[in-house]
Amino acid sequence: MACFAEIGHDVISVDNDAAKIDALQRGETPIHERHLPELLQRHRNVRLQFSTSVRDAVAASEAVFICVGTPQSQTGEADLSFVEAVASEIAAAISDQKTIIEKSTVPVRTCEGLRKTLLLNGAQAGSFSVVSNPEFLREGTAVSDFLYPDRIVVGVDDEASAAVMQEIYRPLTSGSYYEGTRVVPPSACGLTKARIIVTNAKSAELIKHASNAFLAMKVSFINAVANISESVGADITQVCTGIGSDSRIGPKFLNAGIGYGGSCFPKDVQAFQAVAEQCGYDFGLLTEVMRINIGQRRRFVKKVRSALWTLRGKRLAVLGLAFKGDTDDIRESPAIEIIETLLREGSTVRVYDPAAAEKALRVLPTTGVVFAADPYEAAADSDALLILTEWPEFANLELTRIRTLLKYPIVIDGRNLYEPQQMTEAGLIYHSIGRGVGIPQDMSSVVHGSDREAMLHDSFAVSQAAGGGR
């Protein structure tokens, strides 16, 4: 809504949560998202209005975007009850020609169901058209993703609605927005004109689920390769550089770690699999993508256990609660699941996250968890430091200070934010994903006997003096 106002449209944002609408009217930002506070400040009560009345908003608008949640049902399918509920309210408010745009992530054929729901609830045939317009916004960079899109996908089944959608996005597709003096800067290279892809409604719906499933597959694939890399003594970061340099593959989403999370990938992959089952197709690849992702979290806990011998009674510093950096979203967060496992195994944790602590406080147990004010307070007198979210500040820690604060000089990095040599030069034993264990030269005697042989069998002990060695 803020981005539509930014490109020049008058927007009425509707929600049935009066408290949320009141907060927005006061200028409060509901989520942690770069550039969003300034957009709300710029357009609130100018181009951007807030309301709890669907009827009033629909009556005053030419185009109506449905952006409600589509949570995962117990069967794995997308729960479309919120879409149906708001559609019935919209139907009762249609008095002249409207374009109804489905923006939520939904399975293929949802536009068909939406059209039927509108008709069953009193909307007159010919008084509306239904469009699929999936979003491709990454949390943390959603504003710049909207304003500088890889593509805009519009699924239409008639020329009139196609014309409406072309007009809505014209400031981006014509490039006129980018010529302004107060534009939001791009997160990467800028655009002169955004690309719009016009398809039929079913194709647009399929594009969204297929896109997310493919990206989740890339994450699981590189994590599977990382597990092999770790076993044979290769370096997954070097492997990723080699793979990602292929223009047919590309480097994005080839980052080994503890797996994907968030509100989209887990839900959308399972929903896409449910769609495939309904079509009579066994999409076994998606089953494997999900299996690898769940297994990656278990492997990380096993890595922590191996580094500390036993987890019971250990005090662990944990950096990161959100499912990824630059967001406060903890939905399906690998970090939360790993923390809960550590607690069940008898550890206590001191956690820190720059944005997600308040939300995590509502879901984590009250016993065994302490929320720290910064990474260094979390590390103080802890048996090891765990990095679970790729916040930029976690990649720029004062490592010598961390070494001094920790009870044992052990860092277990689930996001590969450091090079092993950086850690060993700071005197830290460094465990990461898809790479060997970094062991400072002056600590090699600490890992002795058969334990040392087992560790060095498939790991790379980085020498402080020489920069490497077996």
Domains delineated in the chain: 2-207 (3.40.50.720), 208-291 (1.10.1040.10)
At 75 the pLDDT is 80
At 342 the pLDDT is 98
Q: How confident is the model at residue 464 (pLDDT cuts 50, 70, 90)?
A: very low
For residue 132, give the amino acid letter: S
At 233 the pLDDT is 94
At 192 the pLDDT is 79
Mean of the per-residue pLDDT values of the chain: 92
Q: Between β-strands 196-199 and 369-371, what pairing exists: parallel, antiparallel or unpaired? A: unpaired
Q: How confident is the model at residue 446 (pLDDT cuts 50, 70, 90)?
A: low
pLDDT at 444 exceeding the cut of 80: no
At 463 the pLDDT is 37
Comparing CA positions, the residue from 61, 53, 55, 48 lying closest to residue 98 is: 61
264 flagged as catalytic: yes
pTM for the whole thing?
Answer: 0.89
Please state which of the ranges 150-154, 189-193, 304-308 shows the lowest mean pLDDT.
189-193
pLDDT digits (tens, 9 = 90+) for 252-293: 999 999 999 998 899 999 999 999 999 999 999 999 999 999
Q: How confident is the model at residue 443 (pLDDT cuts 50, 70, 90)?
A: confident
* Percent of the chain topping pLDDT 90: 88
pLDDT at 16 exceeding the cut of 70: yes
Interval 301-315 mean pLDDT: 96
261 within 8 A of 138, measured Cβ to Cβ: no
pLDDT digits (tens, 9 = 90+) for 117-151: 999 999 999 999 999 999 999 999 999 999 999 99
pLDDT at 447 exceeding the cut of 60: no
Around Cβ 312, how many Cβ atoms within 10 Å?
Answer: 9
At 460 the pLDDT is 39
pLDDT digits (tens, 9 = 90+) for 167-216: 999 999 999 999 988 899 887 666 679 999 999 999 999 999 999 999 99
pLDDT digits (tens, 9 = 90+) for 22-45: 999 999 998 999 999 999 999 999
The active-site residue out of 67, 189, 264, 279 is 264
> How many residues can be counted in the chain?
470
- Phi, psi dihedrals of residue 162, rounded to the nearest 5°: -60, -40
What contacts 232, CB < 8 A, 6 or more positions away? Answer: 458
What contacts 449, CB < 8 A, 6 or more positions away? Answer: none
Q: How confident is the model at residue 73 (pLDDT cuts 50, 70, 90)?
A: confident
- 59-to-63, 89, 122 alpha-carbon distances in Å: 10, 12, 15
Q: Give the CA angle between residues 236, 238, 243 to the nearest 5°.
A: 90
